[in-house]
Amino acid sequence: MSFVSKKPEQVRELLASDEGWTFIDVRTVQEFEQGHVPDSHNLPVVFRGSFGMSPNPAFVEVVERCFAKNSKLILGCAAGGRSARACELLAQQGYGDLINMEGGFHGARSPYGELIVPGWQECGYDVATDAGAERTFAALQKKAESLS
């Protein structure tokens, strides 16, 4: 495993520092639009379709074209599973400074629905609903295509 997991309070501290961390939300566009970590980029690792979730075949390519391999990236999703998978995919491509936000945006729960790790929103941190045009999946995908 070439990434570490950190709780939302640790992620918040890193994002507030001037160490140059970038937050990538790997949830679907619809999930992202309902609320996300402020100043985050949306780059879904999977898409929701009529048959459930399916991998985004362009995920790694778009990340590679938009973020240098030496970028300091924090990845988050709803509960921490998809972002852990995204970290694995990026680590395989040579990204070294990767953090998975444990608990994600909504929090990780046990099979019984009990909160195990509070997420960003559960912690009461600021939530944004507007990403700015350059941080949306559509904009990142367009940027990646223009750099082809």
- CB-hemisphere CA count at 13 Å for 50? 0
Q: Tell me how many degrees the CA angle 3-14-31 measures, rounded to the nearest 5.
A: 75
Q: What is the share, in percent, of the chain residues with pLDDT greater than 70?
A: 99
pTM: 0.94
Interval 47-78: pLDDT, tens: 988 888 899 999 999 999 999 999 999 999 99
What's the rounded mean pLDDT across residues 91-118?
A: 96
Cβ atoms of residues 127 and 38 within 8 Å: yes
> 123 an active-site residue?
no
Task: For the chain, state the CA radius of gyration.
Answer: 14
Catalytic one among 66, 77, 87, 123?
A: 77
Tell me what pLDDT residue 2 has. Answer: 85
Q: Which residue has the tokens 């195990």?
A: 116
CB atoms within 10 A of CB 34: 12
Q: Which helix (H) or strand (E) holds 137?
A: helix 137-146
Structural domains in the chain, sorted by start: 4-146 (3.40.250.10)
- pLDDT, residue 60, reads 97
pLDDT digits (tens, 9 = 90+) for 126-145: 999 988 889 999 999 999 98
Q: Give the number of other Cβ atoms within 10 Å of residue 54's Cβ.
A: 10
